[in-house]
Amino acid sequence: MADLSFPDQQDGNVSRSISDTPPNHYIIKIQSFSQLAKNNIERYTSSDFEAGGYKWKLVLHPNGNKNKDISDHISLYLLLAQVNSLGPACEVRAVFRLFLLDQNSDTYLTLKDTTENGRRFHKMKLECGFDKFLPLAAFKDPANGYLVNDTCVFGAEVYVCREKITGKGESLSMVKDPISYKNTWRIDSFSSLTDECVDSKPFIAADRKWKIQLYPRGKGNGVDNYISLYLTLAEPQDLRPTSKIYAEFTVRILDQVNRNHYFGTGLVVKDICIVEAEVKVHGVANDL
């Protein structure tokens, strides 16, 4: 029987055992394992596999999860892959075991999270597993059989024990140091405009398409007395119904003579009107 005690291992809710049965749901064989480190591959994510009606992935950090300051260990995790199909309050509880093949004895080292009722996977936490799955020294020790001829085999079993699907939610992403975008629109033969509304060509600002709308005879409270200007999304149908964009903007008619962009006699020169829009997106809210 192999020694299951390794130095510097997290115990807590982790159970270690030896199994002579392969994992039921997924196996990944890695050849030339040492090339991962040589090519600076700090995280390897497997293809999807299905278990309990959901799709999962194995995530391997061959030299430890640097995001958690883990070194000198193999870090191994289970990842719930169906992000887009999860609602904001969709919760999947799963009991899982992660495997490593001992090629000397044809048995598997298994680590199981023994948290009561399984571990919770949801949109805010898609990944669970073991920061210190195995010390690298033990992994590379030929006597243990985990790495033979630079080849190793990992695996996973996943059993979904409970699901919870309720509620709604949203995520707001604010932009640090937003960029200001400027667009200039030249309108020729301004006095000949007959349409109620005239649209500029779409322009890009913060990865969205926008356009300026001009109402020559006004709109709403400005009808017959003012020119009305609006900034709109050029493709609003591409937004989800509950999405919101928080933007700071300015629309103005340029004074072509005095550069006073509100009052002045140079707003229409030789029947040409020049309209300008400045847009700065501060945040975007989407469904979770």
103 lies in a domain? yes
Is residue 288 pLDDT above 90, yes or no?
Answer: no
List the CATH number of the domain containing 156. 2.60.210.10
pLDDT in the model for residue 261: 54
2 lies in a domain? no
3 lies in a domain? no
Report the distance separating Cα 2 and Cα 18, nearest Å: 8
Interval 223-227 mean pLDDT: 93
Looking at every residue in the chain, the average pLDDT score rounds to 88
8 lies in a domain? no
Interval 220-238 mean pLDDT: 93
62-71, 112-121, 139-148, 178-187 — which is least confidently predicted?
Answer: 112-121
Q: Are residues 133 and 198 in the same domain?
A: no
Q: What are the pLDDT digits (tens) for 162-190?
A: 766 665 667 788 999 999 999 999 999 99
Q: Are residues 220 and 278 in the same domain?
A: yes
Q: Which of 146, 165, 184 is the C-terminal boundary of a domain? A: 165
pLDDT category, 9, cuts 50, 70, 90? very low
Report the distance separating Cα 278 and Cα 204, nearest Å: 11
Q: Are residues 145 and 41 in the same domain?
A: yes
Segments forming the whole domain that contains residue 44: 14-165
Nearest one of 136, 165, 145 to 37, comparing CA atoms: 136
pLDDT in the model for residue 167: 58
Q: What are the pLDDT digits (tens) for 35-76?
A: 998 999 999 999 999 998 889 999 999 999 999 999 999 999
Say which residues have a Cβ less than 8 Å from residue 143's Cβ, sequence separation at least 6: 104
48 lies in a domain? yes
Q: Are residues 142 and 218 in the same domain?
A: no
75-89, 121-135, 200-214 — which is least confidently predicted?
Answer: 75-89
Q: Are residues 158 and 25 in the same domain?
A: yes
Say which residues have a Cβ less than 8 Å from residue 118's Cβ, sequence separation at least 6: 93, 94, 95, 96, 159, 161, 162
Q: Which of 135, 165, 195 is the C-terminal boundary of a domain? A: 165
Q: Are residues 149 and 26 in the same domain?
A: yes
Instruction: Give pTM, 2 decimals.
Output: 0.58
Using CA atoms, how far residue 38 sits from 28, 32, 105, 119, 239, in Å, is 20, 10, 29, 34, 43
Q: Are residues 142 and 41 in the same domain?
A: yes
pLDDT in the model for residue 4: 53
Report the distance separating Cα 36 and Cα 42, nearest Å: 7
Q: Are residues 188 and 128 in the same domain?
A: no
